[in-house]
Amino acid sequence: MIMTKVKICGLRRKEDIDCVNLYKPQFAGFVFAESRRKVSKETARMLIKELLPQIKSVGIFVNENENVVAEIAEYTGLDCVQIHGDETPEYVERLKGLLGKATKKNIEIWKAIRVKNKESLKIMSDFDADAFLLDAYVEGSYGGAGAVFDWQIARDIASRHDRIILAGGLNPENVKAAVARVKPYGVDVSSGVETDGFKDVGKIRDFINRVREADEML
To which H or E segment does residue 93 belong? helix 89-103
Closest of 61, 53, 67 to residue 21, by C-alpha: 53
Listed by start position, the domains of the chain span 5-217
Distance CA(91)–CA(61), nearest Å, equals 13
Output the CA–CA distances (angstroms, integers) from residue 191 to 75, 87, 136, 169, 175, in the order listed: 27, 24, 14, 8, 13
Q: How confident is the model at residue 86 (pLDDT cuts 50, 70, 90)?
A: very high
Share of the chain above pLDDT 70, in %: 97
**Side-chain-side CA neighbours of residue 178 (13 Å):** 30
Report pLDDT digits (tens) over 91-131. Answer: 999 999 999 888 888 999 999 999 999 999 999 999 999 99
Which tens digits make up the pLDDT trace of 11-68?
A: 999 999 999 999 999 999 999 999 999 999 999 999 999 999 999 999 999 999 999 9
Cα-Cα-Cα-Cα torsion 69, 73, 76, 78, nearest 10 degrees, comes to 130
Beta-bridge partner residues of 115? 136
Which residue type, as a one-letter code, is found at position 111?
Answer: K
Residue 144 clears pLDDT 60, i.e. is over it: no
CATH topology of domain 5-217: TIM Barrel (3.20.20)
Q: Put residue 163 in one of left, alpha, beta given phi > 0 → left and psi -120 to 50 → alpha.
A: beta
Binning the chain into helix, strand and coil, the percentages to the nearest 5 are 40, 20, 35
Provide the annotated active-site residues. 9, 135
